[in-house]
């Protein structure tokens, strides 16, 4: 793995906040130096709502980020996954951990 970053989402949203789009823009500039890399995009959600709904939301989040990368001119190989609520980064169930689990993780492999 070359590097990774994460972008965060608001509750029940699949589009990014402006501040998170800035993070994606910086990621696009960095990735321009690695045109042959593979990008693993993993969407996640909190555990509020049904498991099936959260799975669909996690896929929408991952696809949204992929579309931003493609729109930014990146023609890398992509692997896009949705994990819903089944792979939390923080297992505690409180507001802070719920917010931390609403994310898309991007990993870049050479």
Specify the DSSP element, H or E, that contains 88: none
Sheet containing strand 77-82, strands side by side: 3-8, 103-109, 38-43, 77-82
Tell me the mean pLDDT in the region 93-108. Answer: 94
For the CA atoms of the chain, what is the radius of gyration? 13
The angle, 0 to 180 degrees and rounded to 10, between the axes of the packed helices 18-31 and 51-71 is 50
* Per-residue pLDDT tens over the stretch 5-59: 999 999 999 999 899 999 999 999 999 999 899 999 999 999 999 999 999 999 9
Among 3.30.70.270, 3.30.1330.60, 3.30.300.30, 3.40.50.620, name the CATH number for the domain at 3-109: 3.30.1330.60
| pTM (whole model) above 0.75 | yes
């Amino acid at each position: 793995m070359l590097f990774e970053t994460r972008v965060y989402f608001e509750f029940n949203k699949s589009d990014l906040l402006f501040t998170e789009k800035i993070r994606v823009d910086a990621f696009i500039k960095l990735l321009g130096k690695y045109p042959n890399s593979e990008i693993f995009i993993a969407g996640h959600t909190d555990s509020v709502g049904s498991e099936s709904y959260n799975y669909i939301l996690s896929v929408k989040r991952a696809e949204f980020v992929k579309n931003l990368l493609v729109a930014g001119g990146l023609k890398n190989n992509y692997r896009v996954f949705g994990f819903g609520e089944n792979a939390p980064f923080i297992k505690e169930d409180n507001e802070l951990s719920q917010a931390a689990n609403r994310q898309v993780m991007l990993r870049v492999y050479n």
